[in-house]
A and B are shown apart, each in its own frame.
Chain A
Amino acid sequence: MMPEELQEIATIEQVSEQQFQSRIYVCVAAGCLSSQSDQVKEALDKEIARRGLEKWCQVKGVGCMGLCAAGPLVSVNGGEYLYQSATPADALDLVESLNDTPVKRLLCATNIPFFQRQKKIVLENCGKIDPERIEDYIANEGYTALLHALTEMNPSAVIEQVVQSGLRGRGGAGFPTGLKWTTVAKALGGQKYVICNADEGDPGAFMDRSVLESDPHRILEGMAIAAYAIGANQGFIYVRAEYPLAIKRLKIAIRQAERLGLLGSAIFGTRFNFHIDIRLGAGAFVCGEETALIASIEGKRGTPRPRPPYPAEYGLWGLPTLINNVETFANITPIIRKGGAWFAEIGTEKSKGTKVFALAGQINNTGLIEVPMGISLRDIIFEIGGGIPGDHSLKAIQTGGPSGGCIPNSYLDMSVDYDSLAQVGSIMGSGGMIVIDETSSLIDVAKFFIEFCMTESCGKCVPCRVGTKQIYQILTKIADGMAKPDDLTLLEELCELVRNTSLCGLGQSATNPVMSTLRYFREDYLAHIRVDEQESSEVPE
């Protein structure tokens, strides 16, 4: 495709959109689909057709609007009204209401903090565009960043913008993205690869899934810009097999982009070629780890290997490979469009931009949110999240999944950024945020995560394979009220050992949930410890 054609497609799409007087958007991302939003859309389509209003009102399936718990969500006229828990039977009233008053019984207030306190960069198109139509993406500035990069910037200028933005990897560890790109760009070798890590292994998180389902072209465009910057011509997206809808939409997106020549050879008439293939995961958490992921793409068992060498120098098939998370790539297009300096304005000194969180657990507004870095936990839980349901009180907030920790409610006013979270013994992780109220036992939560790491350990290194099992056994003993004070000491020693000697991040961080609960909720553990009569004078440390 030539540059002018992109503008042409955008204009045609915008004009045809403007013909409609009214618009009804129905969320067709996984959350609302599991509340049968596809049937709601079908019913709306039928109702519009029955009244012969096809030219007047548009019904569009769009991506995630965030408030998954209230689904199926329907938005009218670009957010003028938002309806929740819509059913196919409501279609009649919804269409009826278009030139009349809104359907009161379904209305969902949009002036609540859940919507107003968010800042959308990664999710800017979610809930607005049809994820299965490339034209819709193009009409919303899609692929203009790629065009700009390819025709007006050289690769080092692209990297310069990413460095300037201060973007850090959203896959968990928060490694500076610009630095990673610089390293891969400098690596010697003709053939290089770009990999998008869409394994999203944290069992309780669905940010990457929502982006893939709601705005797949954004990832393709981000990857293409990365490939141009580092000098790669082949990319892979490694997606979990558990996400069939995301896989389907990615496949559609790749096919559409290839058809228009936005992926493939001589993109925009330049000498830049780039192809993307999808690789499916097969249900192994450790495959989210970059070296294990690479082994899996090579068709092998997904076991990690020691680093260095890092994938930047020795990656897929031994060649220099750039591997970034979905959300990291999703931030690239706005950075190129608006400049690194613009991005660096948002967030805190060391954590720039926004972060998408999947809010779940004992909280009123479960769903997907995007907030600027540096917001307080209190604002997330009590403002955006709407607080804890029932008369319960907040006990802890779990971030970072099995590699993260439990933050007690006394830290509610802390800032949410990479460094503050690490300081309190948790991690930013990929964005899972599970709210726990006082009815849950934190020993149980710690046990849950250790059991997860135990079953997901690939078995290659002993500390992780055996250590997690032993930690699990001690925790079971504690939970059953059978443990002695000595067991607590042993537990702490074991955690240290596993943390310091495991081969990969899985083992190294597997003990975080245990250590953080031991640190902040020691009384809970002590309450379960059996102190025999003759020993009762001994005070456990």
Chain B
Amino acid sequence: MQPDTGKIAPPSDDRRWRLIGASMRRHGYQSHALIEILHTVQEAFGCLDEDSLRYVALSLRVPLSQVYGVATFYQFFTLKPQGKHSCVVCLGTACYIKGGTNIITAIEDKFKLKPGGTTADGQLSLLTARCLGSCGLAPAAVFDGRVVGKLDNAEVLKQLTHLLKPQAAPTEEVPS
């Protein structure tokens, strides 16, 4: 069966698929737009699950194996759902020299969480990054999209407590 490009039905009637459909249309369903489309999917859904990989593969007429290969090659893409909140700790050179690993240890101890993992209640994901480009403020981390520099353990735990407070006011994000 040769599916008609662009006529593939999305996996569900979730409205977010329209965004992805629009993005594919804008790129003319070209196979080289694969990475762009995966970015759009991840932005909309938070991760790339099997359904979405199949849908993108069919729509762009790229073998599923290749879509999977690309999705797993790039560190930025994740196949697992992420927690409600995220904390990305920088482990670039500058932050490493200034003690970024201590921050990880502090979070590990407090939340029983390893980098790449999510707490059992699905509230917090801990991630690491290779340089946020804020090396002048090392060590730095991103709390739900907001970069904070010159951190120490106490400050990190304070930020996280604030993040996880149920009624926490929405934090201003770095414009993206």
Q: Which residues of A contact B (CB under 8 A)?
A: 30-31, 33-35, 38-39, 68-69, 71, 200-206, 209, 241-245, 247-248, 279-285, 296-302, 358-362, 366-368, 398, 401, 432, 434, 436, 440, 445, 448-449, 452, 458
Selected contact of A434 from candidates B39, B73, B91, B94, CB within 8 Å: B94
- B49 interfacial contact with A, CB 8 Å: no
What chain A residues lie within 8 Å of B97 (beta carbons)? Answer: 360-362, 434, 436, 440, 445
B64 at the interface (CB under 8 A from A): no
Question: How many B residues face the partner with a CB closer than 8 A?
Answer: 44
CB-based contact B92/A284 at 8 Å:
no
Please give the distance in Å from B57's CB to the nearest CB on chain A: 12
Which residues of B lie under 8 Å from residue A204 when comparing CB positions?
A: 92-94, 131, 135
The docked-state distance in angstroms from the alpha carbon of A201 to that of B76 is 13
Interchain CB contact under 8 A, B135 and A205: yes
Q: Closest approach, in angstroms, between the C-beta of B65 and any C-beta of chain A? A: 11
Residue contact A206 to B133, C-beta cutoff 8 Å: yes
Complex: A436 Cα to B148 Cα, angstroms: 23
Contact of B35 among A244, A296, A448 (CB under 8 A): A296
20 contacts between A and B (CB under 8 A): A30-B174, A31-B134, A31-B136, A34-B148, A34-B149, A203-B91, A204-B93, A242-B129, A244-B175, A247-B176, A248-B175, A299-B70, A300-B70, A301-B69, A301-B73, A360-B93, A361-B97, A362-B98, A366-B136, A368-B136
Q: Give complex CA distance A401, B147 in Å.
A: 22
C-alpha spacing A245/B133, complex, angstroms: 11
A242, A299, A366: the one contacting B133 at CB < 8 Å is A242
In contact, A35 and B39 (Cβ under 8 angstroms) = no
Q: Does B162 contact A (CB under 8 A)?
A: no
- In the bound assembly, the distance between CA atoms of A204 and B39 in angstroms comes to 24
Question: Which residue from A68, A241, A245, A282 sits with its C-beta under 8 Å from B136?
Answer: A68
Please determine whether B149 and A35 come into contact, CB atoms closer than 8 angstroms: yes
- Evaluate contact between B96 and A34: CB separation under 8 angstroms: no
When distances are taken between beta carbons in the complex, the residues of chain A under 8 Å from B137 are 31, 34-35, 68-69, 71, 366
Which residue of B has the minimal Cβ distance to A278?
Answer: B36
Q: Is B32 an interface residue (CB 8 A)?
A: yes
Question: How many angstroms from the CA of A134 to the CA of B70 in the assembled complex?
Answer: 36
Q: Do residues B133 and A209 form an inter-chain contact, with CB atoms below 8 A?
A: yes
Chain B: minimal CB distance from A209 (Å): 4
Nearest 10 Cβ contacts at the A-B interface: A204-B93, A68-B136, A282-B74, A283-B76, A244-B176, A203-B92, A360-B94, A283-B75, A34-B147, A299-B32
Q: How far is the CB of B119 from chain A (nearest CB, A)?
A: 23
- Contact (Cβ within 8 A) A299 B31: yes
Q: Which residues of B approach A to under 8 Å, CB–CB? A: 30-36, 38-39, 62, 66, 69-70, 73-77, 91-94, 96-98, 129-138, 140, 146-149, 172, 174-176
Q: Report how far A24 CA is from B62 CA in the complex, Å.
A: 52
Chain A nearest CB: distance from B148 CB in Å? 6
CA distance A31 to B133 in the complex (A): 8
A-B CB pair tally, cutoff 8 Å = 149
A30, A203, A297: the one contacting B134 at CB < 8 Å is A30
Q: Could you say which of B75, B97, B133, B174 has the most chain A C-beta atoms within 10 Å of its C-beta?
A: B133
Query: CB < 8 Å: which of A69, A203, A247, A297 contacts B130?
Result: A203
List the B side residues contacting A35 at CB < 8 Å: 137, 149
In the complex formed, the residue of B with least CB distance to A68 is B136
CA distance A202 to B176 in the complex (A): 22
Contacts of B31 in A (CB 8 A): 299
Asked if A206 and B135 make an inter-chain contact with CB atoms under 8 angstroms apart, the answer reads: yes
Q: How far is the CA of A332 from the CA of B91 in the complex (A)?
A: 34
**B147 cross-chain contacts in A, Cβ below 8 A:** 30, 33-34
B77 partner residues in chain A, CB cutoff 8 A: 282-283
Q: Which partner residue on chain A sits nearest B75 by CB separation?
A: A283
Q: Are B174 and A33 in contact (CB under 8 A)?
A: yes
Is A245's CB under 8 angstroms from B176's CB?
A: yes
Q: Is the CB of A279 within 8 A of B36?
A: yes
Give chain A nearest CB distance to B80 CB in angstroms.
15
> Within the assembled complex, what's the spacing in Å between the Cα atoms of A206 and B93?
12
**Residues in chain A near residue B39, CB distance under 8 A:** 241, 280, 282
Determine whether the beta carbon of B138 is less than 8 Å from that of A360. yes
Q: Do residues B75 and A366 form an inter-chain contact, with CB atoms below 8 A?
A: no
- How far is it, in angstroms, between the C-alpha of A396 and the C-alpha of B137 when the chains are bound? 20
Chain B residues with CB under 8 Å of A241's CB are 39, 76
| Residue of A281, A298, A360, A452 ringed by the most chain B CB atoms within 10 A | A360
A282 pairs with B34, CB closer than 8 A: no
Q: Which residues of B contact A39 (CB under 8 A)?
A: 172
Q: B130, A38: Cβ atoms under 8 Å?
A: no
In the complex, A401 Cα to B131 Cα: how many Å?
Answer: 11
Closest partner residue, chain A, to B74 (CB atom): A282
Task: Report the bound CA distance from A445 to B98 in whole Å.
Answer: 12
B130 near A452: Cβ-Cβ < 8 Å: yes
| Assembled-state Cα–Cα distance A33/B133 (Å) | 12
Known A34-B140, A38-B172, A245-B175; contact A282-B35, beta-carbon cutoff 8 A: yes
CB distance from B127 to the nearest CB of A (A): 11
Closest partner residue, chain B, to A243 (CB atom): B133
Taken together as a complex, chains A and B put the C-alpha atoms of A501 and B76 apart, in Å, by 29
Q: Which of A31, A71, A209, A359 has the most CB of B within 10 A?
A: A31
Closest CB-CB distance, A527 to chain B, in whole Å? Answer: 20
Contacts of B131 in A (CB 8 A): 202-206, 242
With A282-B74, A302-B73: A358-B135 Cβ-Cβ less than 8 Å: yes
How far does the alpha carbon of A361 sit from the alpha carbon of B176 in the complex, in Å?
A: 27
Q: Which residues of chain A have C-beta atoms less than 8 A from B96's C-beta?
A: 448
In contact, A30 and B133 (Cβ under 8 angstroms): yes
In the bound complex, what is the Cα–Cα distance between A49 and B54 (angstroms)?
54
Q: Please state if A299 and B135 are interface contacts (CB–CB under 8 Å).
A: no
Nearest CB to that of B149 among chain A residues?
A34
- In the assembled complex, the Cα of A398 lies from the Cα of B93 at a distance in Å of 10
A366→B73 contact, CB < 8 A: no
In whole angstroms, what is the CA distance A274 to B152 when docked?
48
